[in-house]
Amino acid sequence: MKKKKSWIRFSFLCVLVFCFIFFPVLANEVHAGEGWKSLFFEPGQSFTYLIRAEKDGVETLGEVSIFVYPAGGEMIEINLQLEFDGEYFEVYAEGDRNDIEDLYVNLLVSMMWEIPELAMQLMMHTFLQPWVETPLQDAELSLDWVWEEDEDWDDWEDEDLFIGVVGEATYGGFDGFVIRAEEDVDLDFVFEVCINPTLPLPIMGRASNFVPGTEFEGGSLYAELINYEIVSFAEVDLEEKRKTEATILDELVEYWAEHGLEIGERTMKAYGMLGAVAGFGLMVEGDEIEVYLFDPETADEKTLEYLYEARETGKFVFEEMGGMEIPVVINGYIMLTGLEYGTFYKHPEKDLIVEIFNSF
């Protein structure tokens, strides 16, 4: 009977964990008294998370970016790009931005078909959960916020369960309230999420100490926001735009191959941090280079300024890295980099790669 009670408690916490999340608007400071609205995305939002799974001494790392595109009227499209355990995956889901359940289910179904189970469970237990049916939805968070049972939860009646704000923290440049859910007597399952009320996704999520018999027994799952930005989109045909962006870089890769260069695998890069609309790492002749595509219609004024200066100086200002200048080659609105790092590294085929790139 005691074991059954533990599983009921664990299931309840999983529902809480599986039913917390997403918000709109944007501000870098925490403000008490703002109700959290999970899953309400705005077109143009872009999130990038570092993700990590640990179990039996094995650590699996990854990075995931989520982009919100306008798709006409109240429709939006969620584009999820994942690099996990050395592999790259990409999924799309479309739905009405006001119909949270439909949008979430569409994304979940796409993820189930396209990405590894461990990566999906990691995201589900940390930041990609629909928190709309839990105490956190619409909660006016503050440092003294603690969930107390109300008429909707009369059947629970368990003083050992705690859900409340335990402090503040900063992730991805955003301050947030750290909320902890735990049951100390039989379960010892711990879940933490950090929320900035102005964003539709948590800025951090951590789950650990899973009960015996569960898939992640003895393990921990973690996600942390490392970049967030808003991009303005013109009224464009999304499918046609994506096709054009992908085609341009695909054609460049084929062009290198046609000119005799050995082309290897691609790796995901957080191109949004540079202000680009597409980009990836690419193995060429055994070493990695990076290519990025910029759209002059959607890029902000600062990005275009950096791009213009890079054409003249050969150096692009990476603002997200404290204004660091990175050596680049520009052809139109395509940027090539990763060919050299200071005086200690130079791609063995740099000159040939640049020569073919400039003739593209």
**pLDDT digit string, tens, across residues 30-39:** 544 458 888 8
pLDDT of residue 23: 31
pLDDT of residue 132: 72
> What are the structure tokens assigned to 134, written together?
């839990």
pLDDT of residue 244: 53
**pLDDT digit string, tens, across residues 56-76:** 778 888 999 999 988 778 888
Catalogue all structural domains in the chain, each as residue range(s) with its CATH number: 2-230 (2.50.20), 238-358 (no CATH)
* Confidence bin at 216 (pLDDT 50/70/90): low
Q: Does residue 78 have a pLDDT over 80?
A: yes
Q: Does residue 336 have a pLDDT over 60?
A: yes
Q: Does residue 259 have a pLDDT over 80?
A: yes
pLDDT of residue 260: 92
* CA gap 201, 334 in Å, rounded: 31
pTM of the full predicted structure? 0.57
Backbone phi and psi for residue 124, each to the nearest 5 degrees, phi listed first: -65, -35
Q: Does residue 335 have a pLDDT over 60?
A: yes
Q: Does residue 191 have a pLDDT over 90?
A: no
User: Which are the contacts of 93, defined by CB distance < 8 A and separation ≥ 6?
Assistant: 77, 78, 80, 103, 106, 107, 109, 110
Mean pLDDT of all residues in 147-174: 71
**pLDDT digit string, tens, across residues 224-247:** 999 998 876 654 455 555 555 557
